[in-house]
A and B are shown apart, each in its own frame.
Chain A
């Protein structure tokens, strides 16, 4: 079945460091792909999305490119801030299943001043 695998956390970085959180998926066809962010004690917020191969989603300095050949959707940011500390979830929308999403297990990011 369809699935999403993320790199394990926690990831600890210093402020202004470069961030990569790996995400790979298994799915049939070309599912839509998403990154969500969850701050402590809150719900999930959509960070960015991509709906077809080679699309690049971007928001608030974060980027991710839909790579069909490597079935990946890695999240990157050039310079992280303390305020980026949160849990990041990669997700896909399987074809033919309406609006259902399949989530990865989440990656906790901690940014130190």
Chain B
């Protein structure tokens, strides 16, 4: 089955620790995206990548980092510099052509205490 996988589903960390969220796709899509979703709010774009070895900051990139070494993988690191890291994180991919829909993973709920 083609799709996007995110792991783990739930993640717990202590304040001050960096944590990496996994996102893998086997749809052969060029573009991948990371969003943050807070309760009762919409999606905010963190980072996106339209091609391997290249990525751009979204609207709320501070305190986050990414890499895109392989077409199918786009991991997100939440660093200790992110002031309010507890949130639901969604990864998506698309063929990159304008007008194409994005395909979403199931999400990772991160709780930092």
Contact = CB atoms under 8 A, between A and B. Distances in A.
Contacts of B109: 41
Question: Main secondary structure on chain A at its contact with chain B?
Answer: loop
Contacts of A32: 98-100
Contact of A98 (B40, B97, B104, B105): B97
Contact of B95 (A46, A89, A99, A101): A99
Interface residues of B, number: 28
A69 interface: no
Contact of A93 (B90, B98, B104): B98
Contacts of A100: 33, 45, 48
Contacts of B62: none
Contacts of A31: 99
B25 interface: no
B85 interface: no
Q: Ordered nearest first, which 3 A-B pairs have the shortest CB separation?
A: A99-B94, A43-B104, A32-B99
Interface of A: 31-32, 34, 36, 41-46, 49, 51, 89, 93-101, 103-106, 108
18 contacts: A31-B99, A36-B104, A42-B107, A43-B105, A44-B92, A46-B102, A51-B99, A89-B42, A93-B98, A98-B31, A98-B96, A98-B98, A99-B31, A99-B100, A99-B102, A100-B33, A105-B41, A105-B42
Interface of B: 4, 6, 31, 33, 40-43, 45, 48, 50, 90, 92, 94-107, 109
Given A41-B109, A103-B42, 12 more contacts: A32-B98, A32-B99, A43-B4, A43-B107, A49-B101, A93-B98, A93-B100, A99-B100, A100-B33, A100-B45, A101-B102, A104-B42
